[in-house]
Structure 1
Amino acid sequence: MNAEATSRVLDRIDGLRDELVAALADAIAIRSVNPTYPDQDYDDLVGGESEVAGLLAGLYREAGAETELFGEAPGRDNVVGVLRGSGGGRSLIFNGHVDVVPADDPAQWTHPPFTAYVDGTHVWGRGSVDMKGGLIAQAFAAKALRQAGVRLRGDLVLQGVAGEENLEHHMGTSAVLERGFTAEGAIIAEPTGALSPLTVMPATPGVLIMRISVTGRSAHAAMRARMRAEPADDPVAASAIDAALRIHDALRRLEDEWVEGRVDPLFEKGQFTIGLDVIDGGARGSRNVAFIPDETTLDYAIFYPPAAQLSEIQSEIVQTVAGVAKRDPWLRANPPRIDWPMHYPGGRTDRDHPFTRMVCLARERATLDTPFAGAPDVRPFPSATDLTWFTAAGIPAVGLGPGALTMAHSVDERCAIDELVCAARTYAVAAIEWCGAE
């Protein structure tokens, strides 16, 4: 490691602390809520992502980067900045997303969600953790490299992408990679504060959304006793909710089996789940307790090991549902329908991969004499991230970013300033280590 260059850069980052916080406050003030997020007004929100991309472009230019803004839809720009290396070094990507989730009811927040509040230790506001804090820290790492007079040998590629919060990777990270902005390693600035801050996260589970639609036969609610007494294959009525819950009971048992049957060395037992998160049921003509329900949908979020095949996961679930239908006269005659509205494959970079080891070492060196000193935890992301698309492209990638995971998408989202600074320090050290420096 170039110890003298690293020392200069770390000192410069510490000197940029107040400027970094101010830049994050500017980014939070931009309401870049993903316009396609459920129940949002697209026309009201579109353009916020481009505005954040423009802010980042200015920071990237201050770092000496060649910048480009482009998007797959108007108002939804990605931004890329490239710091050209002198040659002979490996290339590195710093990646993060510019969109945020809605803030819901601002009255629930201690401080307005889109007006950053700085209390001396934390920056409050939507996106402070997920993930404008990480994006700004990456930009300031690049800025500090330039101000410290450190020239990397390999290229450093800064990426601020649109669409991640609604799993629109085709709008963001995949579009950027397809445009040719690739490298030999990538650090994604998702918040990785798990059991301890600034955890290194080299894996993400597969995420599968499933909808099960069940049909019943409606009648007056008073017919329930008669429904139970009559032949189950042709009753006067059949509750779609009852039938759906029988299916769910079987899927709960399958989820219990996954504790031992679906495992991965980077994940703790029990992290792969079949979660029922949305139920919608009732009578088509009236959502009223006076009617036996004739339709029900169950929406599940399924998290599975990154090494597992999608077809294998789907087949196991389909067989479980089919087993319930086979034993149930009504469902046997009226089979439930299964749809798969969304799939996000898992991804992983091995714990012992040279890139993972390098990021761990960079994080340890960058946090010496700070509250975060010591070797970092190495854990998987609990949910989908754009790490998937880097590993799918053959680029080793890990997540490392400021902020507690519990703060992501939450009311009163806030990020510790010390974490922001230490994240920037880690990014800078990683760039020197991976790319080489003059």
Structure 2
Amino acid sequence: MAMQTDLDRIENAIDATISRFSGEAENLLEKLVAVPSVNPEQPGVNKADHLGGESRANKLFATYLSNLGMNIDYVEVEEGRANLVAILRGTGQGRSLAFNGHIDTVAPQEGRFPDPWTAVREGNRLYGLGATDMKAGHAAMWLAIKALDEVGVRLDGDLHIHSVVGEETMSHEIGTTAVLDAGYQVDAAFVPEPTSSGDLLQMSNTAPGNALFAVTVRGKSAHWASRNLAIRSGGGGDSIGVNAIDKAVYVYNAMRQLEEQWGMSKTHPQFLPGAFIIHPGVLKADVGIEAAPYFPDRARFDYLLSFPPGETYEQVKTEVEQHIRASSALDPWLREHPPEFEWYASWPPAFTDPNSEFVQISLAARNAVAPSEYFSAGVIPAGAQSDASFYEKQGIPAVVSGPGDLLRAHAADESVDLDLVPIAARTMARTALRWCSE
């Protein structure tokens, strides 16, 4: 590694270069926003309308990176959805680092602006779909590497960019995991997802795991006027009919009971008490048609739960099912017709030791360039999941810190504070300079 005075000189030159090229980074962000890269698996969209958008955005990004002397490759597991891998080769003597960003966005919503893919500037904010989540991160990645190139820095270790597809639908098998499995392994990863909600450029080393699942409760259809016979003393009870909504409420209350238990049983030193939850997001019940004059014979809850680092999806899945089945055994109908579970997506927790060398290097870089009154001096839990989890799952330390406001992500009028882009670039350049060394 260079002497400290040399590092200071190089970092000062990098800062000045980032300031000089920030306007070009903003132009790149506008161009990336202009390429619709909606994840074609997003709920409510026609896949055919959006297939290929992620690839087109990555090819645009690749033109900027190839101009910096980066080697370009693509990893395409699903046709029309190509991940971009760009590598700035080092001397081969140091540790490697990846900047990871997902190029896919959520579906557009109706907002103030007629075209979600036309960037609009208002003061220092840039509006457009994907601006904050997370194409501003791509602009910051380019700006960091542009500065290293302009200053003439050659790192000891390789510096990668992994611009991946599928993140918005947890499709890591065709995105980040596919890139790693294709042989593009690294010694650490920096993910510039938006981390500025309420504070400026926070840095995270951990995030909860989550799982999406559905619980279906079966009933027995009958005419609405039979309800008194089905639920009152002296009636025929279940032999007359069973309203699946009634039984679903029973299951819902059992799930709430488990959630309350989790408030005490599921803990982690970096998370507030009660952080891990079981969220009911969708309830649907009917007899095949939406009509009130019937006993609905099916009801389905869709849930999203979160769980702490140190626990696994398999453990949590077993715990939830065992609790609901034990509770259901106390109800005569549910004992004979137990709830049906469908587990359809999961995201592992993220955790890199906050005292590890990589976290400390990244944190020192952020603290050196961001105004200290705006952020927590240490790392904090992430407000949402990211592809950092899939690096950490393979034993690769990772941090998350980037431009953009998480509270504006997935919003109708998504926007980013452009002042955050050069700050993020300075953080990443410093991290690369100090990590990718002998």
Q: TM-score, normalised by structure 1?
A: 0.95
Give the 3 Å change call, closer, same or farther, for CA 244–375 of structure 1 in structure 2.
closer
Q: CA deviation at 1:235?
A: 2.9
Query: Could you tell me which amino acid in structure 2 is paired with residue 58 of structure 1?
Result: T
Measured after TM superposition, the shift of residue 434 of structure 1 is 0.8
Which residue of structure 1 lines up, in the alignment, with residue 100 of structure 2? 95
Describe the SS at the equivalent of 1:79: strand
Alpha-carbon distance in 2 for matches of 1:334, 1:233: 15
- The more displaced of 413-422 and 191-200 is 191-200
Distance (Å, rounded) in 1 between the aligned partners of 2:19 and 2:378: 24
Q: Distance in 2 between matches of 1:239 and 1:40?
A: 33
Q: CA deviation at 1:311?
A: 3.2
- Determine which of 114, 126, 131 is the counterpart of 1:123: 126
* Amino acid across the alignment from 2:178: A
Q: Is this contact kept in 1: 2:229–2:237, CA < 8 A?
A: no
In 1, distance between residues paired with 2:306 and 2:24? 39
CA distance in 1, matches of 2:91, 2:240: 79
Q: What is the CA–CA distance in structure 2 between the aligned matches of 1:372 and 1:405, rounded to whole Å?
A: 19
AA paired with 2:343? W
Q: Distance in 2 between matches of 1:67 and 1:172?
A: 16
Question: What residue is the counterpart of 2:367 in the other structure?
Answer: 364
- Matched with 1:343 is 346
- 1:25 maps to 30
* Structure 1 residue 60 displacement after superposition: 1.1
Deviations 1:401-434 (A, max 9, x none): 1111101111111110111111111111111111
1:406 corresponds in structure 2 to 407
Which position in structure 2 is the counterpart of 1:390? 391
Match of 1:282 in 2: 286
The 2-side partners of 1:70 and 1:318 are apart by 37
Structure 2: which 5+ residue stretches go unaligned?
Answer: none
Aligned ranges 1:6-85 → 2 under 5 Å: 6-85=11-90
Provide the residue aligned with 1:424 in structure 2. Answer: 425
Structure 2 letter corresponding to 1:341? Y
What letter corresponds to residue 33 of structure 1 in structure 2?
V
Amino acid at match of 1:395: I
2:199–2:374 CA contact under 8 A, matched in 1: no
- CA shift for structure 1 position 261: 1.1
Whole-angstrom distance in 1 between the partners of 2:295 and 2:392? 49
For 1:138 and 1:125, the matched residues in 2 are separated by 19
Is the 8 Å Cα contact of residues 237 and 292 (structure 1) preserved in structure 2?
A: yes
In the other structure, the counterpart of 1:254 is 258
CA contact (8 A) 1:219 1:236 kept: yes
What residue identity is the alignment partner of 1:262?
Answer: K
Q: Offset at 1:112?
A: 3.0
In 2, Cα distance between equivalents of 1:37 and 1:305: 26
C-alpha distance in structure 2 between counterparts of 1:299 and 1:74, whole Å: 30
Task: Tell me the number of residue pairs that the alignment of Structure 1 and Structure 2 aligns.
Answer: 432
Q: Which amino acid aligns with 2:83?
A: N
1:23 and 1:112 map into 2 onto residues whose CA distance is 18
Task: Look up the equivalent residue of 2:25 and give its one-letter code.
Answer: L
1:270 to 270, 274, 278: 274
Task: Supply the AA of the counterpart residue of 1:313.
Answer: V
Taking the aligned partners of 1:354 and 1:37, their CA distance within structure 2 comes to 37
What is the distance in 1 between the residues matched to 2:184 and 2:231?
63
> 5 Å matches for 1:205-220?
205-220=208-223
**DSSP-derived class of the 2:346 partner:** strand
SS across alignment from 1:190: coil
Q: How far does residue 301 in structure 1 lie from its aligned partner after superposition? A: 0.3
Q: How does 1:309-324 map to 2 (within 5 A)?
A: 309-324=312-327
Distance 1:373 1:408, change over 3 A: closer
Report whether the alignment pairs 1:5 with 2:10: yes
Residue 223 in 1 paired to residue 226 in 2? yes
Q: Percent identity?
A: 34
2: distance between equivalents of 1:24 and 1:376?
Answer: 29
What's the secondary structure of 1:246's corresponding residue?
helix
Q: Which residue of 2 aligns with 1:112?
A: 115
1:436 aligns with 2:434: no
1:244 alignment counterpart = 248
Distance 1:26 1:193 in 2: 23
Q: Residue deviations 1:171-220, cap 9 Å, x none?
A: 11011111111211100111112441211111121111121111101111
- Looking at structure 2, the residues matched to 78 and 311 of structure 1 have their Cα atoms a distance apart, in angstroms, of 29
Check the 8 A contact 1:86/1:151 in 2, yes or no: yes
Rate the CA distance shift 1:372–1:171 in 2: closer, same or farther, 3 A. farther
Deviations 1:382-404 (A, max 9, x none): 33321111011111001111111
Q: In structure 1, how many angstroms separate the alpha carbons of the residues matched to 2:408 and 2:135?
A: 13
RMSD, aligned CA: 1.7
Where 1:225 maps in the other structure, the secondary structure is helix
Q: How big is the shift at 1:223?
A: 1.1
Q: Is the 8 A contact 2:143 2:422 kept in 1?
A: no
Deviation at 1:371, TM superposition (A): 7.7
Against the structure 1 CA distance between its residues 153 and 39, is the aligned structure 2 distance closer, same or farther, given a 3 Å change threshold?
same
Distance 1:178 1:22, change over 3 A: same
Q: Return the offset for 1:43.
A: 1.3
Distance 1:383 1:202 in 2: 12
- Structure-2 change in CA distance of 1:232 and 1:421 (3 Å): farther
Counterpart contact for 2:202–2:376, Cα < 8 Å: no
Q: Give 1:327's match in structure 2, choosing from 323, 327, 330.
A: 330
Shift of 1:265: 1.2
User: In the alignment, what sits opposite 1:198?
Assistant: 201
Per-residue deviation, 1:270: 1.7
Amino acid at match of 1:298: F
Specify the code of the residue in structure 1 equivalent to 2:86: G
Quote how far apart the aligned CAs of 1:312 are.
2.7
Q: Distance in 2 between matches of 1:92 and 1:435?
A: 7
Question: Take 1:206 and 1:319, find their aligned partners in 2: how far apart are those partners?
Answer: 20
SS at match of 1:234: helix
Contact residue 62 and residue 143 of structure 1 kept, 8 A: no
What is the rounded CA distance, in whole Å, between the counterparts of 2:382 and 2:10 in structure 1? 32
CA contact (8 A) 1:96 1:161 kept: yes
Give the Cα–Cα distance (whole angstroms) in 1 for the partners of residues 343 and 87 of structure 2. Answer: 38
CA-CA distance at 1:319 after TM superposition: 2.3
CA contact (8 A) 2:37 2:103 kept: yes
1:211 partner amino acid: A
